[in-house]
Amino acid sequence: MIYTVTLNPSIDYIVQVEDLKLGELNRMKHDDKLPGGKGINVSRVLNQLNVNSQATGFLGGFTGGFIKDWLEEEGVKTGFVKISDDTRINIKLKHGEETEINGLGPTISKQEQTVFFEKMQAVKTGDIVILSGSVPPSLGNNFYEQIIAHCLEIGADFMIDTTGSELLEALPKKPLLIKPNHHELAELFGVPLKTREDIIVYGKKCLDLGAQHVIVSMAGDGALFFEGENVYFAEPIKGVVKNSVGAGDSMIAGFVGAYSVTKEPLEAFKTGVATGTATAFSTDLAKKAFINEMKPKVKLIKL
């Protein structure tokens, strides 16, 4: 089983305004409300790939109810802890360029945290736990570390999708996969990465520090995959980018979903490229038919 952990989910309230005027009445041209959160995105895409997962974390209030109902209607299994505070709403205001206003996240009590770790007892040896996104301030600085320690104790694999010191500290614990983009990789090591050769040096360093597999996404310049002594380059697929939000999460879903079935890293990377690209070319997360359409277009070069 794959478990996706989203500690600070949201409703993403997407508002389109043609000509935003601050201090005046503005009317929306269009709006959408979607379940948000990196782990939630992963579970939604895994569902399109017909790979079982359980989405877990913390949900509360009418906003949490909206997210839970949406996921269950799509067929995604959920195991969230119900909390007394409300799940946040993130506003994405589109008026030419996008302006984001993100909520801080709920206050989560010690008792609610205890219930979360009780639910994590369902994770067994051989399962995969995907840790994605931000941590609400009320959970402190080491909540991911506690989850990783539980995974190591029972023999479950974990994948972590975060940045900075949290990611660096997780590497010696041998995550199944990390997926920084090239900017995040540069930030991780505090160095400028100006060329693909620069990126390769530090992608390999992530392996040396403990990661089992590394994907470095480079937006419109493709992606690099590091496994053992090998480095592969996925050429960018041509198309119209409609949605950068969730493309990275979709790539993670494609890789982990395929790897959980086949244990073939290179085939998993191909699936990850297809799912990430399909989402980038969609208005929401990728659907199964479009993912299947992208798969034959994935071209890999061994460097």
**Enzyme catalytic residues:** 249
> What is the rounded distance in angstroms from the CA atom of residue 189 to the CA atom of residue 167?
11
Distances (CA, A) of 36 to 26, 33, 44: 25, 9, 11
Distances (CA, A) of 71 to 115, 147, 257: 21, 23, 18
Q: Is 251 helix (H, G, I), strand (E, B) or coil?
A: helix
Task: Count CA within 13 A, CB hemisphere, residue 269.
Answer: 27
> What is the rounded distance in angstroms from the CA atom of residue 203 to the CA atom of residue 223?
11
> In sequence order, what are the residues at sequence separation of 6 or more whose Cβ sits closer than 8 angstroms to the Cβ of residue 200?
224, 231, 303
> What is the rounded distance in angstroms from the CA atom of residue 279 to the CA atom of residue 182?
19
Write out the two tokens for 245.
């939000």
Residue 226 CA, chain-centre distance (Å), reads 19
> In sequence order, what are the residues at sequence separation of 6 or more whose Cβ sits closer than 8 angstroms to the Cβ of residue 155?
125, 126
> What is the rounded distance in angstroms from the CA atom of residue 198 to the CA atom of residue 213?
18
- CB-CB neighbours of 114 under 10 Å: 11
